[in-house]
Amino acid sequence: MSGSAPRIGGFIIVAACLGMALLQGCSTVERLGGTKKEGVSTDSAARYVTPEDPMARPIQVAWTSARASNCGFMFDPVKLKDDFMRNESRTVTDPYQLQRISQAYDYTLASVGDTIKSDPKYCTRERTDAIRADLRRYLAGDYSPTAKLAR
C-alpha cells in the first residue's frame, strides 16, 4: 500500500500543474488575483485614451456604444461588438490578445454605462452630435481610435 502513495501524490501534483496552466491560459488567475483590468472604468478616462494605447480601439468603440445606448440611439450594441471583434480578428492572430481586447471592450462598456446612467443631463446636444458621428463611423466599419470628446 505504501507503494501507491507516491503515485497518487505525483498524480495530484501533475493535475494541479495542468489545472494552473489551463487557468493561466484563459487569464482566470489574473481575474481571481485582482490584477488590473483591461479597459477604463469611467467616461472621463475613456475620453482621453491616446491612439497609441494598444487598447484604444476597444475602449473607444465600447465607450461610444455605452454612451449611445444611454442616450437612446437606435442600434444593436451586440452586433457592433461582434463586427468590431470580427474586424480585430483579421489583424490580431494571437488568441490571448483577442481575449484581452474583448475583456477591455466588455469592462469599458459596463463601467462607463454604470458611471453615466445616473446623470440625467448627460445627453446634451453637443454630446449626442459627437456620439452620432463616432457611432456612424463604427457602424460603417471604421474603428480607428479617433473618437470625439464628449463635450
Over the chain, what is the mean pLDDT? 79
Phi, psi for residue 17 in degrees, rounded to 5:
-65, -45
SS3 track for 82-95: HHHHHHHHHHCCCH
Predicted pLDDT of residue 151? 44
Q: What is the pTM of this model?
A: 0.71
Question: Using 50, 70 and 90 to split pLDDT, how confident is the model at 150?
Answer: very low
Q: Is the pLDDT of residue 126 over 50?
A: yes
- 44-62: pLDDT as tens digits: 677 778 888 889 999 999 9
CA distances from 79 to 104, 131, 136, 150 (A): 17, 17, 14, 23
Q: Are 92 and 98 in contact (CB under 8 A)?
A: yes
Annotated domain spans of the chain: 1-35, 43-139
pLDDT digits (tens, 9 = 90+) for 11-20: 455 445 444 4
